[in-house]
Structure 1
Amino acid sequence: MSTELIPLFPLHVVLLPGSPLPLHIFEERYKEMMADVMAGSREFGVVLARDNGIVNIGCTALVERVIERYEDGRLDILTSGKRRFQIVSLDEDKSYLRAAVEFFDDEDLNDAPLELRQQAMKYYQLLSALEKPGIVLQPKIESPRLSFQIAQYIIDLDNRQTLISLRSENERLGFLIKTIPAYVYKQERIAVAKRVAPQNGHAKHVVNS
């Protein structure tokens, strides 16, 4: 499989295909990176940065538009997630990081069964109502990437990182169906702790029990 050299932007974010990502560019090295990006494909890689380094699977961000250019070179931009990739090697010849990457897509291109989609949507609606009562964002159940639409709203970084590495929509929806109930339970316990906290000093035991 051939590789492609792309600019790399490590962030405390897991970008998913189709997800919007607004960015404020202010560091000098990333100003240089954006100048190169805008002069080329308008695409760069986003990878999750951890304390011990970066992960090896990420997603490219395509610059949809420049919202504002400041006199000192800073930029406000709006990007969206496009292509998933795996890092083969890193390149540090420039002020910013680059990587030779292999792009990948789903290996199983069959549509996920309707029953699986409906079950994932049911859990999504449960959690989104819990986190934002009265406001339920509605992914499109017929979307071939329903899992990514659901995940961008409700699961944590570690689970998003697992999800982005899976190469089947069936696998991703199954993963969400297993993951969301535990997350719902955790959020419910946190809500209970917040209600109990003003009344006594033992709220932490409600969360950890």
Structure 2
Amino acid sequence: MTTSLSPDAIPLFPLGVVLFPDGMLPLRIFEVRYLTMIKQCHKSGKPFGVVALTQGQDVQRPGPTPGERFHAIGTLAEIIDYQTPQPGLIEIVTRGTSRFKVTASEQTPHGLWMADIEVLPDDPHVKVPSDLAYVAANLVRMLEVFESAEVSPILEPRRFDAAGWVANRWCELLPVPAEDRQRMMEMTDPLLRLELISDLLDMTEFGR
């Protein structure tokens, strides 16, 4: 296959979820198009890109299916835990790192997407302002509930003083529509993202 992509092209994993920087994403890998890719990423220590689907499904099925389409902005995922419980199955836990923009993409004959990307700047460190301190405090309480059940959807380190980090964790926990979650992940202003989350919290039981 002739490709127009650069030698630095990365594999993409289109999914029905949005991965945020510093977020945790566990995955069960059993599709042929991803098994070799995940093994190679684990062996090399290189990340792959997670992009949210706009058309198509997470799992390829036999027979005619609509083509996959996905958002141009995604998040790099690094593998932090890797297990092979049985042949043909890999279970991993990933951490979101940097956001990126797809500048060119191609699909291989086996269905794997490869892409050239531009890594986007990380959120600037903006402290949680005093009038939104309750958003961080409620996140602390929420995590205490998870930890009392000996589970946690949040990775270390925890940065309850950082507006972007707090907003991202609430984006993962709240039942936000996928398109809204994608839009907030793409925002370059972490304080605006936190303000939007505070508006959502005020309409739920997690408000002030």
User: What is the TM-score of this pair, normalised by structure 1?
Assistant: 0.71
- Ranges in structure 2 where 5+ consecutive residues have no aligned partner: 1-5, 57-68
- Relative to 1, partners in 2 of residues 1:46 and 1:54: Cα closer, same or farther, differing over 3 Å? same
Letter matched to residue 146 of structure 1: V
Query: Between the two proteins, what is the percent identity of the paired residues?
Result: 23
User: Which structure has the highest helix share of the two?
Assistant: 1
Letter matched to residue 151 of structure 1: C
Please list, as runs of the form range in 1=range in 2, the aligned pairs for 1:90-105 lying within 5 A after superposition. Answer: 90-93=105-108, 95=110, 96-105=112-121
Please list, as runs of the form range in 1=range in 2, the aligned pairs for 1:45-84 lying within 5 A after superposition. Answer: 45-51=49-55, 53-71=69-87, 73-84=88-99
Residues of 1 paired with 2:180 and 2:80: CA distance?
27
Please list, as runs of the form range in 1=range in 2, the aligned pairs for 1:53-202 lying within 5 A after superposition. Answer: 53-71=69-87, 73-93=88-108, 95=110, 96-106=112-122, 109-121=124-136, 140-143=159-162, 145-156=165-176, 157-182=178-203, 184=204
* Displacement of 1:122: 6.1
Letter matched to residue 56 of structure 1: A
Residues of 1 paired with 2:139 and 2:81: CA distance?
30
> CA deviation digits over 1:137-185, x for unaligned, max 9?
8974213622112222114222221111011221211221233334x28
Residues of 2 paired with 1:69 and 1:94: CA distance?
28
* Displacement of 1:67: 2.5
Q: Which residue of 1 aligns with 2:46?
A: 42
Aligned residues: 178
> CA deviation digits over 1:59-109, x for unaligned, max 9?
1111112133422x31011111111111111122463111111111247x3
Residues of 2 paired with 1:163 and 1:25: CA distance?
27
Q: 1:24 aligns with which of 18, 22, 28?
A: 28
**Contact 1:57–1:85, Cα closer than 8 Å, also in 2:** yes
Residues of 1 paired with 2:179 and 2:139: CA distance?
18
**Contact 2:98–2:122, Cα closer than 8 Å, also in 1:** no
Q: Which residue of 2 aligns with 1:206?
A: none
**Contact 1:116–1:174, Cα closer than 8 Å, also in 2:** no
Residues of 2 paired with 1:159 and 1:3: CA distance?
34
- Relative to 1, partners in 2 of residues 1:65 and 1:125: Cα closer, same or farther, differing over 3 Å? closer
- Relative to 1, partners in 2 of residues 1:122 and 1:66: Cα closer, same or farther, differing over 3 Å? closer
- Ranges in structure 1 where 5+ consecutive residues have no aligned partner: 188-209
Q: Which residue of 1 aligns with 2:66?
A: none
Considering only CA atoms, is the larger Rg found in Structure 1 or Structure 2? 1
